[in-house]
Amino acid sequence: MHAFLEYTVTGLTVGSFYALVALGYTIVYGIIRLINFAQGDLSMVGAFLGWTLLVSLGFEHLPIYLAVVAAFVIPMLGTAVINLGILQFAYKPLLRRSLLAILITALGMSLLLQNTVLLVYGPSINAYPPNLLPTTGFYLGPVHVTYVQTALVAVSLLLMGGLVLFVQGTTIGTAMRALAQDHDAARLMGINVDAIIRVAFVLGAMLAAASGVMLGIYYIQIQFTFGFLLGLRAFTAAVLGGIGNIPGAMAGGFLIGLLEAYTTGYVSGKWEDVIVFAVLIGVLVVKPTGLFGERVAERM
């Protein structure tokens, strides 16, 4: 029982990273039916931008709150700009062409981001400052929870809450939901569809970058390759929750995180991906709309 609870805490922590990346997949898919395969790599780019600030530029020596806020906000903005560039130059010319062309382009963008980071930062592992946040923790009943875990899950929940408020409570958010249904009808409301697509790309990139910085803080070590597997797991989470569905992406992220933690704990870390991707295949075969989705994810 004790071990189970420990795994659960780990699973929820890692799951919150997956949830953030999965939200990016789901927001973009909801609006333009594109699986933006660069989503995981945007997270990786965010992690490297955060590393640059904290380590290369020495932000780690600043007061802790300032350092943490800067290490989140600046990579989120930087990654948003990169994603807007990808949208403008790679996806936009293809938006009215075949979905296959744009999907392959998305895979290309994933490779482009990986190789750019490889060129800039090199192939070696870069390390986040290990003592950025207090490394101690507290006991929640019998389970030891670190302050890092608490802080990271809290930030994730804050970002998710902010996203839900934005999508449900603002007119721009309402327009995003309308676009998921009917682009032409949205145009006839006076909605600038291109601008709303840009908003979706900015949101997706910011969530991904935040998850990347969190991964860096949590795992300490980052490498240019980590975005690929992260992206696939988050994609599985989005599909599990029902792609296009925002609460689904969050739930899917936490479920995949838990699944991964239990697999590592009870079976072996080597089986993580086997189990996670078996779930992806299982969902696609048995319930392609996912746990919460109503729409058929027909174009993946």
Partner 1 sequence: MALLEVRDLHVFYGNIEALKGISLDAEPGQIMAILGGNGAGKTTTLRTISGLLRPRSGTVTFAGRSIVGLEAHVIVGMGLSQVPEGRRIFNVLTVEENLNLGGYIIRSSRELVRTRKASVFKLFPRLAERRAQLAGTLSGGEQQMLAIGRALMSEPKVLMLDEPSLGLSPILSRSVLKTVREVANRGTAVLLVEQNARQALAIADRACVIETGSVVLQGDAATLAKDERVQKAYLGGFEAVASG
Considering the rule CB under 8 A, would residue 181 count as an interface residue with partner 1?
yes
Q: Please identify which residue in 62, 95, 151, 177 interacts with partner 1, judged by CB under 8 A.
A: 177
Is-contact 209 78, C-beta < 8 A? yes
Choices 82-90, 120-128, 180-188, 235-243; region in contact with partner 1 by CB under 8 A: 180-188
Instruction: Tell me the two tokens of residue 168.
Output: 């449900």
Is 178 a binding residue for partner 1 by CB under 8 A? The answer is: yes
Residue 178 or 275: the one with the smaller Cβ distance to partner 1 is 178
Beta bridge partners of 145: 138
In the block, tokens 């390759």 appear at: 225
Selected from 21, 145, 186, 256, the binder of partner 1 by CB under 8 A is: 186
- Residues 224-263 within binding reach of partner 1 (CB under 8 A): none
32 binds partner 1 (CB under 8 A): no
Beta bridge partners of 137: 146
Q: What is the DSSP string of 64-94?
A: HHHHHHHHHHHHHHHHHHHHHHHIIIIIGGG
Structural element, H or E, at residue 127:
strand 126-127
Contact 292, 46 (CB under 8 A): no
Vertex 84: Cα angle to 31 and 35 (nearest 5): 40
Q: Which residue among 57, 158, 185, 229 contacts partner 1 (CB under 8 A)?
A: 185
Q: Is 8 exposed, middle or buried (0-12, 13-18, 19+ CB in 10 A)?
A: middle
**Residue 180: CB minimum distance to partner 1, A:** 7
- How far apart are alpha carbons 189 and 263 in whole angstroms? 49
Using the contact rule CB under 8 A, the part of the chain among 146-154, 175-183, 214-222, 277-285 near partner 1 is 175-183
Give the closest residue to 258 by CA, choosing from 3, 2, 6, 7: 7
Query: Is residue 188 a contact residue for partner 1 (CB under 8 A)?
Result: yes
Q: Which of residues 189-208 bind partner 1 (CB under 8 A)?
A: 189-193
Residues 152-171: x where in contact with partner 1 by CB under 8 A, - otherwise, as a string: -------------------x
Distance of CA 37 to the CA centre of its chain: 11
Dihedrals φ, ψ of 221, to 5°?
-90, 135
Which one of residues 154, 182, 221, 287 is an interface residue with partner 1 (CB under 8 A)?
182
Residue 24 or 30: which CB sits closer to partner 1? 30
Smallest distance from the beta carbon of 254 to partner 1, in angstroms? 24
Stretch that binds partner 1, among 174-182, 206-214, 251-259, 283-291 (CB under 8 A): 174-182
Nearer to partner 1 among residue 32 and residue 44 (C-beta): 32
Stretch that binds partner 1, among 75-83, 114-122, 184-192, 226-234 (CB under 8 A): 184-192
Count of CB atoms situated within 10 Å of the CB of 68: 21
The residues binding partner 1 (CB under 8 A) are 171, 174-175, 177-178, 180-182, 184-193
